[in-house]
Amino acid sequence: MRAFTYERATDPVAAARIVAGKPGAKFIAGGTNLLDLMKIEVETPTHLVDVQDLDLDKIEQTPEGGLRIGALVSNTDLAADERVRRDYGVLTRSIVAGASGQLRNKASTAGNLLQRTRCPYFYDINMPCNKRKPGSGCAAIGGYSRQLGLIGVSDKCIATFPGDMAVGLRVLDAVIETIDPQGERRSIPIADFHRLWGDRPEQDTVLRPGELITHVTLPRPLGGKHFYEKVRDRASYAFALVSVAAVIQPDGTGRVAFGGVAPRPWRVEEAEALVPQGAAAVTARAFQGATPTKDNAFKLPLATRALASVIAQAKA
């Protein structure tokens, strides 16, 4: 870990200004991912702006009948919120499928969206990695890639976004609210929030320098049955090989997003329109153009089978 300076912010715009104006500055909230990465020098910020004192830890009803979740609401509190459990079951289920109780106590809503990939080559600073060190190459391509991505990836990077909560938020069409150093607010649909790697895998999201997430807003409840099927080698405390977030309506239609396969929660609206025709039809469309490696090709049949499990449970 490199030496760094630290301050606690009391105002969102001031915090945004400091991070925008100081090279090497970063926000820190729960720190559950950032501190680990700093210890192994994958992240080397020179200054940390701690946002935990900002007044962003509430969940409020919106006039439209949805919920507005403060950026600092902990994963534990968000998953346990009665309204979330009742109306947005897929969100609670996706959150509690991730990490461990201790980490969820500390992890924030905004931080969860910003967690970095778990590609093992990203985690080893001796290895080439375009995401960690732009232009150095990608050791994962041609290497051990069982956990890695197969769609939306590029010839520069095949990492995945590793989170669960965002996959739940994706089927709910959540909107991410930010504030920038000028005090301008912006609303970013979650569909647009995480970038596909392309030629710039070092850039995980569309956030601009200093732009701070303040809230995540959920539209009105969708009804239907909510599922988060997370497939992993061990029963807890593991990242998804494949996950399926789904809301299935009584008429057999539904929404579906996949985790563990792409740089972002993977939802293809034309594909989910095929839910009534069954899982194979959905995944055939959703994963059109997929470029799996030898190690992770199993994720394609697995995604189909995991979705079939959800559809069967919805019918049961």
Among 31, 143, 221, 276, binds other proteins (CB under 8 A): 143
Task: Return the range that interacts with other proteins (CB under 8 A); candidates 12-20, 56-64, 143-151, 176-184.
Answer: 143-151
308 binds other proteins (CB under 8 A): yes
The size of the interface with other proteins (CB under 8 A), counted in residues, is 45
302 binds other proteins (CB under 8 A): yes
Provide, rounded to whole angstroms, the least separation between the CB of residue 161 and other proteins.
15
Rounded to an integer, what distance in angstroms lies between the CA atom of residue 20 and that of residue 123?
A: 26
Among 26, 47, 118, 195, binds other proteins (CB under 8 A): 118
Phi, psi values for residue 34, rounded to 5°: -60, -45
Which of 187, 189, 165, 166 lies closest to 178 in space, CA to CA? 187
Torsion sign over Cα 233, 236, 239, 243: positive
CB-facing half-sphere around the CA of 208: CA atoms within 13 A: 14
Among 219, 221, 276, 278, binds other proteins (CB under 8 A): 278
CB-facing half-sphere around the CA of 184: CA atoms within 13 A: 9
Torsion sign over Cα 300, 286, 224, 230: positive
CB 241 within 8 A of CB 266: no
294 binds other proteins (CB under 8 A): no
Among 147, 178, 205, 293, binds other proteins (CB under 8 A): 147
Positions in 228-247 near other proteins (CB under 8 A):
229, 231-239, 241
Which distant-in-sequence residues (6+ apart) come within 8 Å of 128 by Cβ? 121, 136, 137, 138, 139
Query: Which element (helix H / strand E) includes 213?
Result: strand 212-218
Show the binding pattern over residues 8-27: x = contacts other proteins (CB under 8 A), - = does not. --------------------
Cα separation values, 18 from 14, 15, 113, Å: 6, 5, 21
Cα separation values, 311 from 68, 253, 259, 269, Å: 30, 10, 17, 17
Rounded to an integer, what distance in angstroms lies between the CA atom of residue 98 and that of residue 91?
A: 11
Provide, rounded to whole angstroms, the least separation between the CB of residue 292 and other proteins.
11
Among 57, 124, 173, 202, binds other proteins (CB under 8 A): 124
Would you say 165 or 212 has its CB closer to other proteins? Answer: 165
Would you say 271 or 311 has its CB closer to other proteins? Answer: 311
Summary count for the chain: helices (H), strands (E): 12, 11
Q: Which amino acid is at 315?
A: K
Among 123, 191, 200, 202, binds other proteins (CB under 8 A): 123
Would you say 9 or 311 has its CB closer to other proteins? Answer: 311
Task: Return the range that interacts with other proteins (CB under 8 A); candidates 10-18, 114-122, 191-199, 251-259.
Answer: 114-122
Provide, rounded to whole angstroms, the least separation between the CB of residue 153 and other proteins.
18
Residues belonging to the chain? 316
Angle at the Cα of 65 from the Cα atoms of 60 and 171, rounded to 5 degrees: 90
298 binds other proteins (CB under 8 A): yes
315 binds other proteins (CB under 8 A): no
Would you say 121 or 193 has its CB closer to other proteins? Answer: 121
142 binds other proteins (CB under 8 A): yes
Among 261, 286, 306, 314, binds other proteins (CB under 8 A): 306
Binding site for other proteins (CB under 8 A): 1-3, 39-41, 118, 120-121, 123-124, 126-127, 139, 142-144, 146-147, 229, 231-239, 241, 278-280, 298, 301-302, 304-309, 311-313
